[in-house]
Amino acid sequence: MRTVRLSGLLWMFFISAAPKLQEKTYTQEEGQTLTLDCPFSRELYLYSQKALQRRTAGGEFVTLVKTEKGSVMYNEVQVGRYYLEQIPEDSKLRIHMADLQVEDSGLYRCVILQPPKDPVILLRPVRLEVTEDISSTPFSDKYPTQSFILPSITTEVQSMLHTSSRAVTQLLPMSTASLSSPGLGVDPTQGPDVIRISLISIVVCVVCGILSKSLVFTILLVVTQRSFGP
């Protein structure tokens, strides 16, 4: 009996002497499971009610899951994603937190419940940090890329080509019309006739010029003879 009391006193001394402000940090990814082992004194707390608590935004700790109260040696309980397993032969409480989410990040502790007294802390507070699972993030979200609107550029180029072809098509009739106008006297559909007519006109002009010069020379000769005659 004295040995049990002595071990209990030593355990109480160890708990009170442990630094209360130290925290141990665990970093996990989404979907993983965190397992914690909380040792306890078999002589003092084997049949005590044990719990997992989390600190709220207000600084208070609330109980998430707790074992049954009574003389149950092998105590197991599950609430949602939290699972408590008491292992008497190892004198420890094993905690499983499954399918972790980012919102599970926070400060946790495992305790011995003894209301109306304050709970006995079995393990120093645990700081849990849950990060996003990168492997489940779409590739486009991990490496955002800038998209280029190629269809609009292609459409614009096609429009420019179409406009250019229309302009060339419109210019060809205008050139034909200007060549066939009466002012120029040239008809592209009657090219040989136009050339023949032009040559005849030139020959006529030359002949007329020669005849006119001969006529002038004859008149001058007659006038000269008369002026020097008897």
Token representation of residue 94 = 């094993």
The rounded Cα 84 to chain-centroid distance in angstroms is 42
Q: Domain 23-135, CATH 1.20.1260.10 — does that match?
A: no
pLDDT per residue as tens, the chain (230 positions) = 444 444 444 444 444 444 454 889 999 999 999 999 999 999 999 999 999 999 999 999 999 999 988 778 888 999 999 999 999 999 999 999 999 999 999 999 999 999 999 999 998 899 999 999 877 655 555 545 444 444 444 455 455 555 555 544 454 444 444 434 444 444 545 555 545 556 676 766 666 667 666 666 677 766 666 665 55
Print the SS3 string covering 2-38. HHHHHHHHHHHHHHHHCCCCCCEEEEEECCCCEEEEE
Q: Is the full-model pTM beyond 0.75? A: no
Q: How many CB atoms lie within 10 A of CB 70?
A: 8
Distance CA 98, CA 82 (A): 7
Please give the single-letter amino acid code of residue 10: L
